[in-house]
């Protein structure tokens, strides 16, 4: 398996330049190559403008900006790509242009250099015929804007080796992307249903049913998105939609390009979008039914053909397209009969044979599992929601735990996750909904159930190891604390943010934390909501060791030989000083001007009070249920949960 450190990107347009920026930000060495010097200069300028915008927004400082720029070497010569580990082609979506490029590249680079295409619709297997050693060829389809959008589709061709697949999969994780794996078929997964959705919007306009403004407005409402199909085509290119749909025509009549889309693409003009017009209820219903119909029809085809899993498909829509609900979730919310009737009606519209959605197509696996030797892996796989905990996630976790705990060959269970978070806490929407519906008992019932699952982790006869790959907040940190050992990647951030959003840690945070770091530092973390970097968490022994990304890959591949706690050493003086300050904190009298008391005064007083009582009593995780009704019935809780990220003045009631 190749450890990818250097990347050549061919094509300095919108996609290529954004990709170069993103990979440089993730510490890869980049050669951005384009034979057209003017295109290369434009690409470099785009990167400069984007990085400067980040500096202006205080996302980056000038020093970091300059380091990122130094990792990008512009070039007009393919020969400069000879020794890179990976080449990503990001040129115009034209089959002849791409194949000519691959022939030329093959004669220049090393025979073991991995070559990837960023095609959005062509067959990876067909393109691989123009590459020497086609087993090193693979599809990596990134999404606009590549520096910000986390989705990448990984598409192995018929000859792609398993070693190459694994190399680019782990490269994708290391580069901060959320990969989904798809079979090699035209349009892959996301474009397979997204582009026909765009095309159907044009048909609705073409038929005189509604204007682009009306169609955009209905689509935004129906799919929970910030831009409608016509605005999206203007942003990403009308011709891009046309060429992508043209490739998909091989799938049948439903995919045939709308005449008006062809005409608009050939005009090289954007759609004219005027000020929004009102939509009557009947027209809105027609637009919604057509747009949902095309998505449901195509998605059912994709799942029937086993192009990818329902979970990855849903994830693709939410991460890549920013849809509020993925297609599978939308269908799950309806009855099977209603979904199948919509698919049938849509198929009849184009005289296509209907296809039926099966119940198994709607199964979302938010936790995946695997076994390598004596190691069982439980992997939280809901990155589009930062792996937030809800009842269904806990049910899936329970099923995995029961299976692994009974499995005689397994002696170690690894808890880890996909995406930029390990687990970013519980599903806040669940709390808000039940508070507003005056159903606090449901929150208590959910918490009791969650405690029973965490107890299974805590009391497992197996060695349980939490490997934190990203943001670990609230319930995520509470789950990690149930493990026998905790390891974390360098960029992980850990915190108990609860008192800042009107509640207190309710899944063992006030209890298990003090077993690791003592009562004073537990109070400090919970009362202040302090965000701990990995090194800081290691200093106070909240985690056992910091691991590198390369070590993390070895763990995922079954090698856990590096997982052993470091010898316990005294905590640094700065933390001892914090312990001394916490000793003198009286939460009923926070009147001093010390920085610590100023921070605590901004938190919800009731939440801090109950947390203090629970920490002092130290009666075990289930004791946290004691004050749940009180805290979730408070005005502060609803205010805090509904206004996360905002400055709130809590009332203490």
Positions marked active-site: 120, 141, 153, 191
Paired tokens of 497: 């943010």
d(CA 358, CA 170): 33
Q: Is residue 326 a contact partner of residue 314, using CB atoms and an 8 Å limit?
A: yes
C-alpha separations of 79 from 8, 63, 75 in Å: 11, 31, 9
Q: Is residue 114 a contact partner of residue 89, using CB atoms and an 8 Å limit?
A: no
C-alpha separations of 109 from 7, 127, 158, 160 in Å: 12, 17, 22, 18
Paired tokens of 42: 């434009």
Closest CA to 205 of 259, 268, 243: 259
d(CA 472, CA 387): 10
Paired tokens of 230: 């016509």
Is residue 229 classed exposed, middle or buried when 0-12, 13-18 and 19+ CB atoms within 10 A define those classes? buried
Residues 6+ apart with CB under 8 A from 517: 525, 540, 541, 542
d(CA 378, CA 422): 12
| Phi/psi-derived region of residue 208, left when phi > 0, alpha when psi is between -120 and 50, beta in every other case | left
Paired tokens of 229: 């199909």
238 SS3 class: helix
Q: What is the DSSP string of 175-218?
A: TT-EEEE--S-TTTTHHHHHHHHHHHHHHHHHTTS--HHHHHHH
Q: Which helix (H) or strand (E) holds 31?
A: strand 29-33
d(CA 145, CA 494): 28
d(CA 441, CA 435): 9
Provide the total of helices (H) and of strands (E) in the chain, helices listed first. Answer: 27, 18
How big is the chain by its Cα radius of gyration, in Å?
Answer: 27
d(CA 224, CA 216): 11
Q: Is residue 2 a contact partner of residue 85, using CB atoms and an 8 Å limit?
A: yes
């Amino acid at each position: 398996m190749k450890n990818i450190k250097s990347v050549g990107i061919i094509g300095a347009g919108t996609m290529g330049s954004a990709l170069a920026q993103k990979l440089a930000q993730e510490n890869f060495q980049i050669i951005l190559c384009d034979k057209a010097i003017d295109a290369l200069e434009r690409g470099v300028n785009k990167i400069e403008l984007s990085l400067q915008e980040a500096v202006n927004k205080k996302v980056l400082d000038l020093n970091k900006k300059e380091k990122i720029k130094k990792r990008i070497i512009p070039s007009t010569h393919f020969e400069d790509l000879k020794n890179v580990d990976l080449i990503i082609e990001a040129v115009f979506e034209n089959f002849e242009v791409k194949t000519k490029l691959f022939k030329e590249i093959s004669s220049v680079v090393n025979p073991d250099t991995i070559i990837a295409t960023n095609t959005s619709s062509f067959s990876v297997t067909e393109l691989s015929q123009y590459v020497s050693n086609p087993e090193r060829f693979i599809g990596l389809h990134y999404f606009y804007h590549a520096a910000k959008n986390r989705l990448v589709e990984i598409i192995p061709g018929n000859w792609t080796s398993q070693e190459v697949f694994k190399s680019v999969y782990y490269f994708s994780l290391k580069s901060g992307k959320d990969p989904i794996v798809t079979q090699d078929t035209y349009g892959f997964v996301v474009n397979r249903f997204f582009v026909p959705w765009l095309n159907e919007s044009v048909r609705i306009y073409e038929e005189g049913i509604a204007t682009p403004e009306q169609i955009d407005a209905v689509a935004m409402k129906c799919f929970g998105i910030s831009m409608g199909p016509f605005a999206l085509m203007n942003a990403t290119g009308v011709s891009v939609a046309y060429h992508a749909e043209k490739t998909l025509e091989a799938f049948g009549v439903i995919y045939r390009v709308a005449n008006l889309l062809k005409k608009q693409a050939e005009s090289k003009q954007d759609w004219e979008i005027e000020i929004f017009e009102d939509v009557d209820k009947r027209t809105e219903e027609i637009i919604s039914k057509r747009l949902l119909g095309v998505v449901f029809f195509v998605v059912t085809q994709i799942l029937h053909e086993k192009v990818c899993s329902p979970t990855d498909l849903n994830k693709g829509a939410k991460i890549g397209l920013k849809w509020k609900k993925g297609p599978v979730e939308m269908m799950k919310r309806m009855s099977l009969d209603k979904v199948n009737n919509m698919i049938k009606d849509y198929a009849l519209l184009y005289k296509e044979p209907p296809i039926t959605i099966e119940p198994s197509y709607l199964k979302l696996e938010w936790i995946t599992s695997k076994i390598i030797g004596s190691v069982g892996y439980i992997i939280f796989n809901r990155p589009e929601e930062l792996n937030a905990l809800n009842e269904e996630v806990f049910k899936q976790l329970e099923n995995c735990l029961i299976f692994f705990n009974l499995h005689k060959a397994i002696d170690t269970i690894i808890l880890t996750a996909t995406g930029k978070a390990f687990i970013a806490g519980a599903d806040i929407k669940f709390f808000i909904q039940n508070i507003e519906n005056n159903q606090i008992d449901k929150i208590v019932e959910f918490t009791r159930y969650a405690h029973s699952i965490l107890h299974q982790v805590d009391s497992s006869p197996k060695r349980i190891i939490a490997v934190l790959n990203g943001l670990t907040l609230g319930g995520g940190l509470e789950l990690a604390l149930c493990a026998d050992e905790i390891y974390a990647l360098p960029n992980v951030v850990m915190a108990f943010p609860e008192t800042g959003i009107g509640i207190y840690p309710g899944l063992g945070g006030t209890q298990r934390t003090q077993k690791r770091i003592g009562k004073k530092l537990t109070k400090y973390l919970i009362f202040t909501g302090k965000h701990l970097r990995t090194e800081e968490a290691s200093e106070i022994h909240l985690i056992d060791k910091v691991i590198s990304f390369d070590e993390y890959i070895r763990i995922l591949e079954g090698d856990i030989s590096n997982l052993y706690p470091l010898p316990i050493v005294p905590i640094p003086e700065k933390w001892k000083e914090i312990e001394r300050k916490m000793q003198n904190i009286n939460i009923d009298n926070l009147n001093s001007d010390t920085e610590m008391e100023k921070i605590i005064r901004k938190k919800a007083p009731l939440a801090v009070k109950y947390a203090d009582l629970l920490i002092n009593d130290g009666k075990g995780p289930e004791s946290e249920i004691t004050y749940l009704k009180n805290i979730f019935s408070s005005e502060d809780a609803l205010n805090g949960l509904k206004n996360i990220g905002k400055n709130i003045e809590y009332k203490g009631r």
